[in-house]
Chain A
């Protein structure tokens, strides 16, 4: 106690706090970095190589060693070492510098893809993790779940067909549903389609799509399409995207025969004194939250109107099937209506 001074006490305190921060701050803390270094073993590298090759093959692109090293975030020598080992184990072979998957390698890659997509689906349906984090978490989980655990997970989720981005999830036996549609920039002006897939890589572009509040399963109509921008209308709102962003949206054309509901809008755009009929709930509203809304009567055909406006602007209360239910704006924007 003799040499106590408040200044000294404060300094010690701040040093401890700073130390804890350096060690444990999210993702960049030393503790996490060191832990990650331990995890990125040879297995991880091999699996990532397989996955990359698989993705390149399905998009009909070719990969050689050079591109592979550029894409993957590991030490070059480690990758070369891993590729050597994989060739010996008959997972891959090279054909005039182009790396290719063997039958066995493709099976293995599919299994990794299966776990990745299942886990994204799990995060979307059963947890509250924000969609920005799904991809990264699935990236590390795909190396950890065993085959049996993946099957159990699939059963737990009710054997889903698609992941939350619209990518098909391979079954145990490698069966996969097909995704219909083409990249949005390829659609001519005036065409109508439904968003069937939103690519979550690269992250920068994905974040931009999220920020625009573009949802899976939304119907859209292309208004303008040129080399500088693509403009489309969806759910009563207009969206403008750069072609490079729009290319990450897959859209399935809807045939002329199908009657398209006109003036579809989002519930969040409903004004006081207006009434509307519910068309459905967007695919973006998932899991427990979606079930809740359905149970509360937000189903196709229900009449809805605004019951009470909130003094602070959010949430508003909607009158549905005789009861007043308050929903936040981000929920209301995922419920589609047709105004009367």
Chain B
């Protein structure tokens, strides 16, 4: 087994080490729901296990976690229920996994969405990140596999990335438990509203589409004034997503 490396945050004043209890599968009476999303093969399950103390196994395969796993942890007397979503490349297609992940972020209304990304392949991972940021504005990017990235000489400017994305970015190496305390601290701050995100919205959209999206968004916002993701709904309507159309009709967005 690996030796546990002390994280810088383990000793810092902000992070309350004694306030953490890993709850495993005991997730009754939770205060907050946290969704865990990410591409396949980013070590998402390792992050899940590091947070909950569970030992869920997934292989080195894309698309292995098909069933939804749940676990929990307690931090500073508040209980968090963690839901591990299937690993997907995108939320735009219609495969079972993607629908499950999408539905949870959209209708499950998690208090925080943790997006796990592979620091070595950030560009590819951002595809999913940017899509999730269209749906929810309470998210944190967990930049995992930093140890590998360092070995591969990939250098990431976390501050700039965080500024560009408009959400907190926490570098981690979940295998060695590095960065997990910081991640927990950030999750709690987003959940309690201490951190307010201003997520990036997709920019490079062709003019004719942007125009159509704007027209639709205005109409949607008229109908649902408090909706955070009207633009995303417009995207889905233009794609003819039947599920979203039905959800609109039944008022599931309210």
Contact = CB atoms under 8 A, between A and B. Distances in A.
> Quick check: do A and B touch in the complex, using CB within 8 A?
yes
Contacts of A288: 93-95
B120 A322 contact: yes
Interface stretch (A76-84, A247-255, A290-298): A290-298
Contacts of B123: 297, 321-322
Interface stretch (A1-9, A114-122, A150-158, A189-197): A150-158
Contacts of A159: 240
Given A155-B240, A158-B240, A321 B93 contact: no
B240 A295 contact: no
B124 A155 contact: no
Interface in A151-210: 155-159
B127 A295 contact: yes
Of A155, A295, A321, most B-chain CB atoms within 10 Å: A295
Nearest to A156: B242
A323 B93 contact: no
B2 interface: no
Nearest to A126: B94
B239 A295 contact: no
A294 B127 CA distance: 10
**For chain A, which range describes its interface: under 10, 10 to 19, 20 to 34, or 35 or more residues?**
10 to 19
B89 interface: yes
Contacts of A294: 90
Contacts of B124: 297, 321-323
Contacts of B240: 155, 157-159
Interface string B74-90: 00000000000000011
B93 A297 contact: no
Interface in A297-340: 297, 321-323
Interface string A274-295: 0000000000000010011011
B92 interface: yes
Contact of A297 (B92, B127, B242): B127
Contacts of A291: 90, 92-94
Contacts of B92: 291, 295
B93 A292 contact: yes
A339 to B, nearest CB: 22
A42 to B, nearest CB: 36
Contacts of A156: 242
Interface in B147-170: none
A297 B121 CA distance: 12
A297 B124 CA distance: 7
B235 to A, nearest CB: 13
Nearest to B241: A158
Interface in B203-245: 239-240, 242
Given A322-B121, A322-B123, A295 B242 contact: no
Interface in B85-122: 89-90, 92-95, 120-121
Contact of B89 (A155, A158, A295): A295
A291 B92 CA distance: 8
Contact of B93 (A155, A158, A295, A322): A295
Nearest to B120: A322
Contacts of B121: 321-323
Interface of B: 89-90, 92-95, 120-121, 123-124, 127, 239-240, 242
26 contacts: A155-B240, A156-B242, A158-B240, A159-B240, A288-B94, A288-B95, A291-B92, A291-B93, A292-B93, A294-B90, A295-B89, A295-B90, A295-B92, A295-B93, A295-B127, A296-B89, A297-B123, A297-B124, A297-B127, A321-B121, A321-B123, A321-B124, A322-B120, A322-B123, A323-B121, A323-B124
Interface of A: 155-159, 288, 291-292, 294-297, 321-323
Given A155-B242, A291-B94, A323-B121, 4 more contacts: A288-B94, A291-B90, A296-B89, A297-B124
